[in-house]
């Protein structure tokens, strides 16, 4: 049985490496795809909110990402002749990683913690963002993170299918990126925050597009 995915992968195939300490529990971000672009210094986590941790060694992780895009077809390819200039292409990208060690940490904030983090007088970038977006766009708080040490990427597989056509192409590429003994951010878990002008903050678990 597949469990629900709740973590967003931060280590991409192109080799982007984010230092583990760049993102902490309680950080607020506006864009999940850019987790190191934080808007605040995390509000202190009260002692009555436990921070849980776990460690895994010699672990293999897999991620899968589906995306859709419109492309212009090359009409000189025989099996595409006369099929029109544009088609929608759906891609499944599968990554497989291995790490010597994965350290996970997570917590479950209270509504009071969310409100205090937003209201924090030091969180000027958060306040500026809310005003600039007229309080219409959500923010995201990091409530879980996975840091990795050592290892490398084993495999990347891309499968493309052209919508509406009985044509499917698959490309398998192999590459390996060795990690050193520094800590790097592998994945984050977030909660979506919506804020109102009167200081009200609502929260909801967010996993749309999560890969782990």
| Domain residue limits, the chain | 8-206
**How many other C-beta atoms are found inside a 10 Å radius of the C-beta of residue 177?**
14
CA–CA dist 181, 88 (Å, integer)? 42
pLDDT confidence band for 52 (50 / 70 / 90): very high
Contact 172, 154 (CB under 8 A): no
Q: Which of 65-74, 130-139, 192-201 has the lowest mean pLDDT?
A: 65-74
pLDDT confidence band for 156 (50 / 70 / 90): low
Of 51, 50, 28, the closest CA to residue 41 belongs to 28
Please give the DSSP secondary-structure letter assigned to residue 38. Answer: B
Q: Enumerate residues 6+ apart whose C-beta is below 8 A from 89.
A: 68, 69, 70, 71, 160, 161, 162, 163
pTM: 0.77
- So what's the pLDDT on residue 152? 66
Mean pLDDT across the stretch 100-123?
97
pLDDT confidence band for 179 (50 / 70 / 90): confident
pLDDT confidence band for 14 (50 / 70 / 90): low
Alpha helices in the chain (DSSP H): 111-119, 124-132
pLDDT higher than threshold 90 for residue 59: no
Name which residue leads in pLDDT, 112 or 17: 112
Q: Percent of the chain having pLDDT more than 90?
A: 54
- So what's the pLDDT on residue 200? 97
Please give the DSSP secondary-structure letter assigned to residue 20. Answer: G
């Amino acid at each position: 049985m597949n469990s629900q995915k709740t973590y967003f992968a931060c280590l991409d195939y192109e080799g982007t490496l984010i230092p583990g300490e760049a993102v902490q529990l309680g950080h607020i971000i506006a864009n999940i795809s850019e987790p190191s672009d934080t808007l605040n210094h995390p509000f202190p986590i009260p002692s009555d909110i436990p921070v849980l941790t776990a460690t895994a060694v010699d672990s293999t992780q897999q991620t899968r990402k589906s995306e859709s895009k419109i492309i212009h077809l090359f009409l000189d390819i025989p099996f595409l002749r006369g099929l029109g200039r544009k088609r929608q292409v759906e891609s499944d990208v599968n990554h497989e990683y291995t790490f010597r060690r994965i350290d996970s940490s997570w917590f479950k904030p209270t509504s009071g913690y969310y409100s205090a983090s937003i209201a924090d007088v030091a969180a000027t970038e958060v306040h500026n963002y809310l005003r600039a977006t007229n309080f219409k766009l959500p923010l995201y708080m990091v409530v879980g993170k996975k840091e990795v040490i050592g290892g490398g990427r084993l495999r990347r597989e891309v499968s493309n299918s052209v919508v509406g056509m009985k044509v499917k192409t698959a490309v398998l590429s192999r590459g390996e990126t060795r990690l050193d003994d520094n800590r790097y951010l592998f994945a984050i878990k977030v909660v979506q925050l919506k804020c109102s002008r009167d200081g009200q903050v609502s929260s909801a678990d967010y996993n749309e597009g999560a890969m782990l």
